[in-house]
Amino acid sequence: MSKIATIVGGGVIGGGWAARFLLNGWDVRIFDPDPQAERKIGEVLDNARRALPGLTDVALPTEGALTFHDDLAEAVAGAAWIQESVPEQLPLKQKVFAQIQAACDPGAVIGSSTSGFKPSELQAGAAWVGQIVVTHPFNPVYLLPVVELVTSPDNPAELVARAADTLTSIGMYPLHLKKEIDAHVADRLLEAVWREALWLVKDEIATTEEIDNAIRYGFGIRWAQMGLFETYRIAGGEAGMRHFMAQFGPALKWPWTKLMDVPEFTEDLVDLIADQSDAQSGAYSIRELERIRDTNLVGMMRALKAQNWGAGELLNAQDGRLKSGSVLGARAGEIADVSQPIVTLRRAVPLDWTDYNGHMTEFRYLEAFASASDRFMELVGADADYIASGGSYFTAESHIRHIDELHAGALFTIHTRVLLGQGKKMHLFHEMRAGDRLIATGEHFLLHVSLESRRPSDPSAEIQAALERIATAHAALPLPEGAGRFVGQPR
């Protein structure tokens, strides 16, 4: 089936869905009668292009084509995925589904971004109820991976599996809820916290800013990487969850919350909360707040990625999917032509790789070149298994030249050539480019060592042969400009 996604409704959520699909290589069609839809989605895409590529350590696929359509039937025809993100009005959604099904491919998945309606409610009166599922994401859709995939008994297993596979392929985590309930799972949890927060403000216990600080400086950070139950398991100490439940279970009977009692939603309460929120965040525009949010999310999620934990584990899995099948997933013997410099890294600049000057910070160039060296080691056979067996390469000397600058979200590629590959010695020269621009070069001299003695040693015969094959081919190339250059030497 085609990799075409149609987004019906281009608001905040619809725009996020468009960015998620588009930046993962899908062609995206937008249907939204709002005359400002193209501008609004364009602004969301600008933020997504700045943020999303920085979550992956492998370049995203080539961006798909984005088109806007005035005719719904034209927009959905031939699409494999149709995402409904219209306002939360059940009759409106059902009307839109009828119009979609009159023109779409019968094999297409129709997902609804609804935060509250059950799939059986959405399916009522549909031409084919099994085609409609709930796919409820979280904002920003292009960064946060979870999406609640809620189905009814009328959804065929094949369609549900295909929906889950599609969501996974674009880096999301489909949380499949097989039993439907109003507001699904995540929003029910959020609603409980929201109701309690309204009472705390109304009763003048805390301001909106103080409540936000309690979350973001405390349990919010814990929740980001362990969720609720795993956090409380740790709170139980060595005895675990059973001890925690026994210790704090009686508190469930204490009047700690007003969750069963909702404050009257008066204009006075709205004004109180709105005024406090303006005082807290009114100095920033919505786009500025979105960029601050995105920068913080990327930084936290990349920290989790380094530990292969929580959302970071999902990002590492997505990197693996992006890497497989590309030149970055091959071994040296699988690269037919080694007569030219070899692509060893292709990725975008993450948000947390930029400095106070707004471009990629100095030590990140070394990190990028080190990753390219690691990839080249894999190519010749010095991979994780080989290192575990007791052999590796250590870098003895490095020289980096900074020629141009890169900014957040910029895509760059590193090409590597071997200047020397003989015995224990490996001399590599990396060129970092963004399109036709030469950004930097890295020259690195490495020695093969025994991890047992921590002394130089000969590599395996297989590695020696692979390295010499590439070194011989690269010896026919002219010496790259800057190779062997000493620090401070005039150009």
pLDDT for the residue 330:
63
pLDDT for the residue 239:
80
- pTM as predicted: 0.84
pLDDT for the residue 326:
64
Q: Which residues contact 369 (CB under 8 A, 6 or more apart)?
A: 398, 400, 414, 430, 432, 440, 442, 444
pLDDT for the residue 333:
58
Complete domains list, the chain, with CATH: 4-184 (3.40.50.720), 190-283 (1.10.1040.10), 325-474 (3.10.129.10)
Nearest one of 188, 185, 333, 327 to 259, comparing CA atoms: 188
Angle between helices 286-306 and 37-51 (to 10 degrees): 30
Residue 78's alpha-carbon distances to 72, 73, 100, 138, in angstroms, are 12, 10, 11, 27
Strand locations in 371-487 (E)? 391-402, 411-422, 425-434, 437-450, 455-456
For the chain, helix (H) and strand (E) counts, in that order, are 17, 14
pLDDT for the residue 325:
64
β pairing state of 411-422 and 425-434: antiparallel
Nearest one of 478, 477, 393, 399 to 444, comparing CA atoms: 399
Cα 223 → chain centroid? 18
pLDDT for the residue 150:
97
Distance CA 384, CA 388 (A): 6
DSSP β-bridge partners for residue 395: 446
- By the 10 Å C-beta count (0-12 exposed, 13-18 middle, 19+ buried), 344 is classed as buried
Q: pLDDT per position in the chain (491 positions), as tens?
A: 689 999 999 999 999 999 999 999 999 999 999 999 999 999 999 999 999 999 999 999 999 999 999 999 999 999 999 999 999 999 999 999 999 999 999 999 999 999 999 999 999 999 999 999 999 999 999 999 999 999 999 999 999 999 999 999 999 999 999 899 999 999 999 999 999 999 999 999 999 999 999 998 888 888 888 888 888 888 888 887 787 777 777 776 777 777 777 778 788 988 888 899 899 888 888 888 898 889 888 999 999 999 998 889 999 999 999 888 665 666 655 677 889 999 999 999 998 899 999 899 999 999 999 999 999 999 999 999 999 999 999 999 999 999 999 999 999 999 999 999 999 999 999 999 999 999 999 999 999 999 999 999 999 999 999 999 999 999 999 999 999 988 888 77
Residue 174's alpha-carbon distances to 5, 26, 171, 321, in angstroms, are 17, 18, 10, 16
Q: Which residues are annotated as a binding site for NAD(+)?
A: 9-14
pLDDT for the residue 487:
87
Are 421 and 470 contacting, i.e. CB atoms less than 8 angstroms apart? yes
pLDDT for the residue 488:
83
pLDDT for the residue 261:
78
Rounded to 10 degrees, what is the CA torsion of 446, 447, 451, 457? 160
With H, G, I as helix, E, B as strand and everything else as coil, classify residue 488. coil
Q: Which residues contact 134 (CB under 8 A, 6 or more apart)?
A: 111, 112, 114, 117, 118, 119, 122, 148, 149, 150, 151, 180, 184
pLDDT for the residue 249:
72
Q: What 8-state DSSP symbol labels residue 416?
A: E
Main-chain dihedrals φ then ψ at residue 264, nearest 5 degrees:
-65, 130
Q: Which residues are annotated as a binding site?
A: 9-14
Are 60 and 99 contacting, i.e. CB atoms less than 8 angstroms apart? no
